[in-house]
Structure 1
Amino acid sequence: MRRLLSAAAAAAAAFTLASCSFGEPPEPETGEPPNLPTPSGAPESPATFMDVVAEGLDVPWGLDFLPDGTAIVGERTGRLLQIPIAADGTADEPVELRTVDVDDTGEGGLLGIAVSPNYDDDHAVYVYYTSGDDNRIVRIDPTSDAAPEPVLTGIPSSDHHNGGALEFGPDGFLYAATGDAGDDAAAQDPDSLGGKILRITTDGAPADGNPDPASPVYSLGHRNIEGLAWNAAGELYATEFGQDIADEVNRIEPGANYGWPYYEGPGGDPKYTDPVLTWEPFKGSCAGAVFLEDSLVTACLRGQRLWIAQFDSSGAVAGEPQAAVVSEFGRLRSVAMGPDGMLWVTTSNRDGRCVEERGCTANEADDRIIRFSTSYAAQGRV
């Protein structure tokens, strides 16, 4: 499925990652091209193409990678897939590992995926999904037919606001972002797992250092988080869906309360922590997130774009965030830096919300997983 780009298509695919100075882009004839980072040890990425890794998928959501570079992807309808990557960097066809029995009503289904940092030893992949009774986190061994092993159950579920982001932090603990499941009060209830960021061990116990040693709750006052990302300093940021005023990027501190349902966007109340960045929902509805050094990249659904925001050493936004690939691929769900040094992005155009009145038209190949050569963008060719 590798596709070499024409000059015009390459410009669209390499996008405004090339303007990572995060203010007004410089004139092409002045200054040095941006230095977009490539992970240490990643193979040299081809410089002149974007790659459609997979197509014809059914609303891909979670995305992570095994130590050998194989991508693990979940479709919201319950299929868990692997995409092997050949030695020359080309992607093979997706292979179904198993199907998880999910309730994919509304926004539910197979959501976040996190590969164990010790995968070579434990063969564990952690999955956040909506069952008929709750949202839950289970452990799956993709090398066996053993049934999924529950890790944490009882997370409130609904046909909307299920959260679902699942990531291992740099401290080795598992972080899960939950939604309020349509119950505003849950976000402020310390005894509810809804509207929270949870921090747990791989057995589901509260992690050492949590604000309440007996609770998995790490932060509260959230509406619906679908993206978690750490910067190089180990600081956690989350992308949160607002209602109709502001979508948020929050810098997460243990025990902090982020104000939902009392505030959406900055509230100015010292009892609650204001977001570090907001945008209007029609430009946002941002889900997956990843840091490239000091720049946060987040994939947006309603906004049909990537937002790229650079942060300074104090955690403040430096300059204006830049929008990339606006309306090029429709609704974007997940974004991850692959071990191949490429930026991987999933589309979400088959979930019933890619409609003409919102300027979205599904491609016949949707849904897709697309990866972009960051080295191409860094060469300043856009």
Structure 2
Amino acid sequence: MKFLRNTALALLAAGLPLAAYAQAPALTTFPVGTATVTASALTTGLDHVWELVWGPDNFLWMTERGGRISRVNPATGQVLPLLTLPDVTPTGESGLLGMALHPDFATTPHVFVVYNYTDAGSLKEKVVRYTYSAAANSLTAPVVVLGNIPATTTHSGSRLLILPDRTLLVTTGDAQMLPEAQNRASLNGKILRLNLDGTVPADNPTAGSMVYTLGHRNPQGLVRLPDGRLYSSEHGPSNDDEINKIEPNRNYGWPNVEGACDLPGEAAFCAANNVREPLTTWTPTIAPAGLTYYDHPAIPGWRGSLLLATLKNQQLVQLPLNAAGDAITARPVFLTSAFGRLRAICVSPEGRVYLGSSNGGSDRILTLENRAFVASATRAANAFAFDLFPNPARRQATLRLPMANARVTVRDLLGRAVLTLPRAGTTAVLDLTGLRAGSYSVQVEGAAGSATRQLLVD
């Protein structure tokens, strides 16, 4: 356990670029409620940014469709290449796509990527696991977790998402083989769920099958909220791009249903096949891509919303959710045509939003931030403090807070919320029984400011 604790703290310290985020020149500003959001370029000269993930080293991890995997320093924009995949096939829309980091990165530094490759003249898709070395800044020891998925140069998906139970979700497109989306024996047009070693989880909807959901055309965004709800963005044909609430064993209709079940033939199919209608659709299409969830006080107007990057419409779309998470209440847009096609998106623990463009050859990562919040939060941090004990802790930890009605959020090394207390009293108890051993951050937000402390769970 001492090794785990020291390794976790070393990871947090070694890459911590918090000393000074040099403010890059503003490219544009725009209002979000009462806040002013500034967009600036973190780094340029990239080529089709496909994935952005906030890493446990406090760096951005990035994939580019041509096959390069890199770490990006969010304080300086320096790009540190880790690996260019030797067997990727970047043709049309195919190439290196999604990426996910193991939640227990301090002790299991595994990086999962999904990409297209050529096998005996045929284009296919596979999920491969690499092992990261911080000392060498490299990825080595590839292991194919899932391979031989049929593919074409379009409709390959694919996003990866590791769930708290350490299973992996993989979105796959229909590979232009439309009927396969309804074929449970096919891996195409699905969201798949598998163990991290590539085996089938015992509690999947159908015994022995990786199929978690079916009836998808080309899902290219996937996000899990702190309360466990899952959402996906999906490309329609020439109509009905979708945002879907993902539920196990549900059918999402394609190709028999486009968008809602609002035609007679569609309604009958939906009733007979457990179809889950989308939360919202777009006609004309917008080409929805990366999807994330925002719930940080830095930009209050975005709290409780999905944020969607779009390719065709070249916009950032805010999708506020209702309290139940089963309806989208508005669709405001930002940055229309300002930076071209937008595909990748993620949020840092400090509330900055990072966007990756996908124009080809001259792409960049953009930083969206409320610079006024960063300054005021820094000043308030000294006056806003709380006690946390015991630390390290095992089954529970106690918080002594400076005021009531504070919001408490526990985040893992990837910055993901794993425990939330929306309205804590002046004393609160954290139930840690569902958390694995490792390092976490405890963030407390109240009317007087916010503060964060590290918590070690034995």
Q: Please classify the TM superposition score into its range, dividing by the shorter chain length.
A: 0.7 to 0.9
User: Which residue number in structure 2 is paired with residue 372 of structure 1?
Assistant: 368
Answering whether residue 343 of structure 2 is matched by residue 333 of structure 1, we say: yes
Question: For residues 376 and 177 of structure 1, what CA distance do their matches in structure 2 show?
Answer: 38
Determine which of 16, 25, 32 is the counterpart of 1:4. 25
Which structure has the highest strand share of the two?
2
Within-5 A mapping of 1:353-368: 366-368=362-364
Is the contact made by 2:51 and 2:345 (CA closer than 8 Å) also made in structure 1? no
Question: For residues 265 and 145 of structure 1, what CA distance do their matches in structure 2 show?
Answer: 40
Answering whether residue 112 of structure 2 is matched by residue 126 of structure 1, we say: yes
Query: Shift of residue 95 of structure 1?
Result: 1.6
Within-5 A mapping of 1:140-155: 140-143=130-133, 144=138, 146-155=140-149
Aligned residue for 1:160, secondary structure, equals: coil
Is the contact made by 1:344 and 1:369 (CA closer than 8 Å) also made in structure 2? yes
Query: Shift of residue 145 of structure 1?
Result: 5.5
Aligned residue for 2:193, secondary structure, equals: strand
User: Which residue number in structure 1 is paired with residue 102 of structure 2?
Assistant: 116
Letter in 1 for 2:325: G
Aligned residue for 2:83, secondary structure, equals: strand
Query: Shift of residue 377 of structure 1?
Result: 8.4
Question: For residues 370 and 159 of structure 2, what CA distance do their matches in structure 1 show?
Answer: 24
Answering whether residue 73 of structure 2 is matched by residue 71 of structure 1, we say: no
Question: For residues 169 and 375 of structure 1, what CA distance do their matches in structure 2 show?
Answer: 32
The answer for unaligned runs of 5 or more in structure 1 is 20-32, 35-46, 352-365
Answering whether residue 315 of structure 2 is matched by residue 278 of structure 1, we say: no
Aligned length: 328
User: Which residue number in structure 1 is paired with residue 430 of structure 2?
Assistant: none
Answering whether residue 242 of structure 2 is matched by residue 252 of structure 1, we say: no
Letter in 1 for 2:125: N
Query: Shift of residue 213 of structure 1?
Result: 2.6
Question: For residues 54 and 281 of structure 1, what CA distance do their matches in structure 2 show?
Answer: 32
Answering whether residue 323 of structure 2 is matched by residue 313 of structure 1, we say: yes
Is the contact made by 1:60 and 1:76 (CA closer than 8 Å) also made in structure 2? yes
- CA gap 1:209/1:91 in 2 versus in 1, 3 angstroms: farther
Aligned residue for 2:29, secondary structure, equals: helix
User: Which residue number in structure 1 is paired with residue 307 of structure 2?
Assistant: 297
Identity %: 35
User: Which residue number in structure 2 is paired with residue 211 of structure 1?
Assistant: 205
Is the contact made by 1:104 and 1:110 (CA closer than 8 Å) also made in structure 2? yes
Cα RMSD over matched residues? Answer: 2.1
Within-5 A mapping of 1:156-305: 156-267=150-261, 268=267, 269-270=270-271, 271=273, 272-282=275-285, 284-293=286-295, 294-305=304-315
Letter in 1 for 2:81: E
Per-residue CA distance 1:26-60 (angstroms, 9 max, x = gap): xxxxxxx37xxxxxxxxxxxx87433121111111
Question: For residues 226 and 159 of structure 1, what CA distance do their matches in structure 2 show?
Answer: 15
Query: Shift of residue 339 of structure 1?
Result: 3.2
Question: For residues 153 and 207 of structure 2, what CA distance do their matches in structure 1 show?
Answer: 31
Question: For residues 256 and 288 of structure 2, what CA distance do their matches in structure 1 show?
Answer: 21
Question: For residues 66 and 357 of structure 2, what CA distance do their matches in structure 1 show?
Answer: 15
Query: Shift of residue 281 of structure 1?
Result: 4.2
Letter in 1 for 2:366: I
Aligned residue for 1:121, secondary structure, equals: coil
Query: Shift of residue 249 of structure 1?
Result: 0.5
- CA gap 1:378/1:279 in 2 versus in 1, 3 angstroms: farther
Is the contact made by 1:248 and 1:277 (CA closer than 8 Å) also made in structure 2? yes
Aligned residue for 2:366, secondary structure, equals: strand
Letter in 1 for 2:276: T
Question: For residues 323 and 139 of structure 2, what CA distance do their matches in structure 1 show?
Answer: 47
User: Which residue number in structure 1 is paired with residue 127 of structure 2?
Assistant: 137
Computing the radius of gyration from Cα coordinates, the structure with the larger value is: 2
Answering whether residue 91 of structure 2 is matched by residue 102 of structure 1, we say: no
Question: For residues 38 and 314 of structure 2, what CA distance do their matches in structure 1 show?
Answer: 21
Is the contact made by 2:344 and 2:356 (CA closer than 8 Å) also made in structure 1? yes
Query: Shift of residue 167 of structure 1?
Result: 1.4
- CA gap 1:292/1:208 in 2 versus in 1, 3 angstroms: farther
Is the contact made by 1:154 and 1:193 (CA closer than 8 Å) also made in structure 2? no
